[in-house]
Amino acid sequence: MTLQLPQPPDGALRSVLTALVSPTALRHVTTPALRTPDTAHPPVPQHPLAVHLLRPGVALAAAPRTGWRFLISCGDEVVAAAETQETADGHAFSHFAEGPYLVATLRALQQARRAAAGSAGPYEPRLLSVPSLYTAALWLHALRPGGTDLLIPLAPAPLGIAAHRVYPAGELLRLFRRAVSPPRRAPPVCRPQTRTPSPSRGGEVAPV
């Protein structure tokens, strides 16, 4: 599998570079490397991924692109992510993100590259956001006609879904649907009451 890394729009990259030096954009960030950057290892946006939003009842191919996400690196360390959103006027900075998905995204990209020799390609990596399950996955979109899209759930993944396993897209989407709408339990079976003769009143029967 060969990966064709996407080229983000200039407006998306510019909005992130501007946010990295904006006190207003950084006011809610807790990462010291962004609040007081080291001049020897300044924060750099890398690994751009188009963000697509998957909602219940929407096919994967129809999941709209909502913006771009960049991993922010200081030297060899990923310290945050920056997300932009598409607007009527182009691209605007949305927010910085911290937490476990940073390392998970990098790990999933490394998984995809390691699998390059064993699968047909090429693939374009994208980020699939699934808000109904509070989760995300690396989406490897097949660029070859007739190719099968792949999905790698990021850790932490919902219960019943193996994080960082490479799934055919159809298989993981079925698991997503099952997690959103679990099968209904069958209603309890009502047994007819059996009546036996009452020892206290001849001829009458009491329920049991």
**Model confidence pLDDT, tens digit, residues 158-182:** 999 999 999 999 999 999 999 887 6
Flag whether 190 is in a domain: no
- Residue-range definition of the domain harbouring residue 83: 10-180
H or E, element range at 177: helix 169-180
Flag whether 2 is in a domain: no
Classify 19 as helix, strand or coil. Answer: helix
Flag whether 117 is in a domain: yes
3-class DSSP string for 76-145: CEEEEEEEEEEECCEEEEEEEECCCHHHHHHHHHHHHHHHHHHCCCCEEEEEEEEHHHCEEEEEEEECCC
pLDDT of residue 121: 74
DSSP secondary structure letter of residue 7: P
pLDDT of residue 181: 76
State which amino acid sits at residue 179: A
pLDDT in tens, 2-61: 888 899 999 999 999 999 999 999 998 999 999 888 888 999 999 999 999 999 999 999
pLDDT of residue 65: 97
Q: Average pLDDT of the chain?
A: 88
Flag whether 192 is in a domain: no
Q: Which residue has the tokens 């994080």?
A: 163
Give the other-Cβ count within 10 Å of 166's Cβ. 18
pLDDT of residue 192: 62
Percentages (nearest 5) of helix, strand, coil residues in the chain: 25, 35, 40
Q: How many domains does the chain have?
A: 1
Flag whether 3 is in a domain: no
pLDDT of residue 167: 94
C-alpha 65/C-alpha 1 separation (Å) is: 23
Cα–Cα–Cα angle for 93, 68, 116, rounded to 5 degrees: 155
Flag whether 194 is in a domain: no
Flag whether 204 is in a domain: no
What pairing do the DSSP bridges indicate for beta strands 167-168 and 195-197?
A: unpaired
Classify 169 as helix, strand or coil. Answer: helix
Flag whether 150 is in a domain: yes
Classify 173 as helix, strand or coil. Answer: helix
